[in-house]
């Protein structure tokens, strides 16, 4: 196939993305229909413009060959790092659920956008580039030093901003792409072990059990000795350090984690968002209160109803049926992207496709999960739904890249959906 001359449009992909976008736009509109004026009231107009801009951007990107994108990857990645660094030197400010973080690039009081949204895209590209260079899948942690640096640098910069949610997304992207690159799951467990140890460190019994299982895994998989010793050492250290780290955590973040376990700990403070969100969703029943009529949203009980908690409006107004339709659309989109990754023409394209899937998927899992209190509250937006220009643009640019990969893929975009 000759790239750029003839584009086979991946219609299922485009239609799925379009359907979700229209669904999302209509919910942003509904979120603005409150009994007393709120900032959300006119948001749908801006969001519509951003969607159009995004679709235009997607079209433009789909005209560019994957090779061009691959060639642009390194400068784009370095540019992203520069922007993230700029935030740390005082150009950042907070907003939304993540008010306490400093994710917005702000110059002279004007918010220009969230570099972390761009980072999600460029890190996927850069990881794909680095991972695609390997002829055979890495079988040890040592061989993974490059991807670790590629994902680790922006990850640390974003953690430094105080944005826990986005860093979780990065972790999701990183592990998903290593998996797609064929890294054995035992290695993934070894990488993840320190973090798991950190969390389990609060309960000595559970931590002990985890540690024994971990040792068993090491004995079975037999990695390099020094690697095994190093990871084991880190696991022990983090297990001990966990409780200490907790003490030094800012209160607002402690509360968020505590509230995740039991929102009623602080119903007026940190737990307020979750309680109102699940109340809105729960009151929806099978069919919901009807489009535009959700009382929790209408009367401003539901906070951030057009940004981070927009999915609660779906639950309240359209009920369980509406939630099923929304999640079904996402499922369709995800399976379609997996198929694109499977059929991609080269490993770079395949990894990019799967990385973008991982990014969306971790957003949906975290955001939707948070609204029903199965995930902690973090400032993660819902793709194609949450109000926000940079994210809408980033989502549609991803669609553009996926469409291009799809059209360059083996056998073209056609072919029945296979689960």
Which residues of the chain form contacts with another protein (CB under 8 A)? 34-36, 131-137, 176, 179-182, 276, 278-286, 295-296, 298-301, 315, 319-320, 323-324, 327, 330-331, 334-335, 338-339, 341-342, 347, 350, 354, 357, 361, 365, 368-369, 372-374, 419
CB 394, CB 121: distance < 8 Å: yes
* CB of residue 283 to another protein, shortest distance in Å: 4
* CB of residue 52 to another protein, shortest distance in Å: 29
Q: What is the largest CA-CA distance in the chain?
A: 65
* CB of residue 4 to another protein, shortest distance in Å: 23
- Of 52 and 324, the one with the shorter C-beta distance to another protein is 324
* CB of residue 302 to another protein, shortest distance in Å: 8
* CB of residue 350 to another protein, shortest distance in Å: 7
* CB of residue 263 to another protein, shortest distance in Å: 12
How much of the chain is helix, strand and coil, in % rounded to 5? 70, 5, 30
- The candidate with the shortest Cα–Cα distance to 103, out of 384, 388, 362, is 388
87-116 b/e (C-beta count within 10 Å ≥ 16 → b): beeebbebbbbbeebbbbbbeeeeeebbbb
CB 21, CB 51: distance < 8 Å: yes
* CB of residue 137 to another protein, shortest distance in Å: 5
- Of 61 and 358, the one with the shorter C-beta distance to another protein is 358
* CB of residue 21 to another protein, shortest distance in Å: 19
- Of 228 and 351, the one with the shorter C-beta distance to another protein is 351
- Of 104 and 174, the one with the shorter C-beta distance to another protein is 174
Residues in the chain: 419
* CB of residue 330 to another protein, shortest distance in Å: 7
- The candidate with the shortest Cα–Cα distance to 252, out of 99, 33, 413, 59, is 99
Crossing angle between the packed helical segments 185-200 and 225-247, to the nearest 10 degrees: 30
CB 307, CB 276: distance < 8 Å: no
- Of 84 and 338, the one with the shorter C-beta distance to another protein is 338
- Of 55 and 310, the one with the shorter C-beta distance to another protein is 310
Residue 355: Cβ within 10 Å count: 27
- Of 178 and 394, the one with the shorter C-beta distance to another protein is 178
CA distance 176 to 170: 10
- Of 207 and 384, the one with the shorter C-beta distance to another protein is 384
CB 20, CB 333: distance < 8 Å: yes
Which pair of tokens denotes residue 98? 């993540």
- The candidate with the shortest Cα–Cα distance to 13, out of 47, 50, 58, is 58
- Of 92 and 381, the one with the shorter C-beta distance to another protein is 381
- Stated as kind and residue range, the H or E segment containing 185 is helix 185-200
- Residue 104 pairs in a beta bridge with 93
Residue with tokens 């979700």: 20
- Of 4 and 295, the one with the shorter C-beta distance to another protein is 295
- Of 7 and 327, the one with the shorter C-beta distance to another protein is 327
- What are the helix and strand counts (H, E) for the chain? 15, 3
Q: Give the dihedral of Cα atoms 117, 123, 128, 133; nearest 10 deg.
A: 160
CA angle 166, 14, 172 (to 5 degrees): 20
* CB of residue 40 to another protein, shortest distance in Å: 13
CA distance 154 to 152: 6
* CB of residue 233 to another protein, shortest distance in Å: 30
């Amino acid at each position: 196939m000759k790239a750029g001359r003839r584009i086979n449009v991946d219609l299922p992909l485009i239609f799925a993305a379009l359907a979700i976008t229209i669904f999302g736009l209509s919910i942003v509109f509904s979120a603005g229909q409150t009994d007393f004026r709120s900032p959300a009231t006119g948001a749908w107009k801006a969001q519509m413009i951003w969607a159009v801009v995004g679709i235009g951007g997607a079209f433009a990107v789909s005209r560019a060959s994957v090779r061009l994108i691959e060639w642009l990857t390194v400068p784009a990645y370095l540019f992203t790092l520069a922007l993230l660094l700029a935030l740390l030197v005082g150009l950042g400010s907070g907003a939304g659920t993540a008010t306490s973080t400093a994710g917005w690039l702000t110059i002279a009081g004007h918010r220009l956008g969230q570099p972390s949204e761009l980072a999600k895209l460029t890190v996927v590209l850069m990881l794909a580039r680095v991972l695609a260079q390997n002829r055979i899948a890495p079988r040890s942690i040592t061989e993974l030093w490059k991807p670790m640096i590629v994902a680790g640098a922006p990850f640390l910069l974003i953690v430094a901003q105080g944005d826990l949610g986005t860093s979780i997304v990065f972790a999701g992207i990183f592990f998903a792409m290593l998996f797609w690159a064929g890294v054995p799951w035992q290695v993934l467990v070894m990488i993840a072990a320190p973090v798991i140890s950190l969390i389990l460190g609060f309960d000595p019994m559970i931590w002990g059990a985890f540690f024994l299982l971990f040792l068993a895994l090491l004995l079975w998989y037999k990695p390099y000795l020094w690697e095994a010793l190093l990871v084991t050492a880190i696991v022990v250290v983090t297990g001990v350090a966990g409780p200490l780290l907790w003490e030094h955590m800012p209160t607002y973040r402690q509360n968020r984690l505590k509230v995740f376990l039991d929102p009623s700990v602080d119903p007026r403070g940190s737990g307020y968002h979750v309680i109102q969100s699940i109340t809105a969703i729960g009151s929806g029943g099978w069919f919901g209160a009807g489009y535009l009529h959700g009382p929790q949203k209408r009367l401003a009980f539901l906070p951030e109803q057009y940004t981070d908690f927009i999915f609660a409006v779906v639950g309240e107004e359209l009920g369980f049926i509406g939630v099923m339709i929304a999640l079904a659309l996402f499922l369709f989109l995800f399976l379609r992207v997996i198929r694109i990754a499977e059929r991609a023409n080269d490993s770079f394209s395949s990894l990019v496709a799967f990385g973008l899937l991982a990014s969306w998927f971790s957003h949906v899992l975290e955001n939707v999960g948070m609204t029903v209190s199965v995930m902690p509250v973090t400032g993660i937006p819902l793709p194609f739904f949450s109000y926000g220009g940079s994210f809408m643009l980033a989502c549609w640019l991803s669609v553009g890249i996926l469409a291009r990969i799809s059209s360059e893929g083996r056998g073209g975009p056609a072919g029945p959906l296979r689960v």
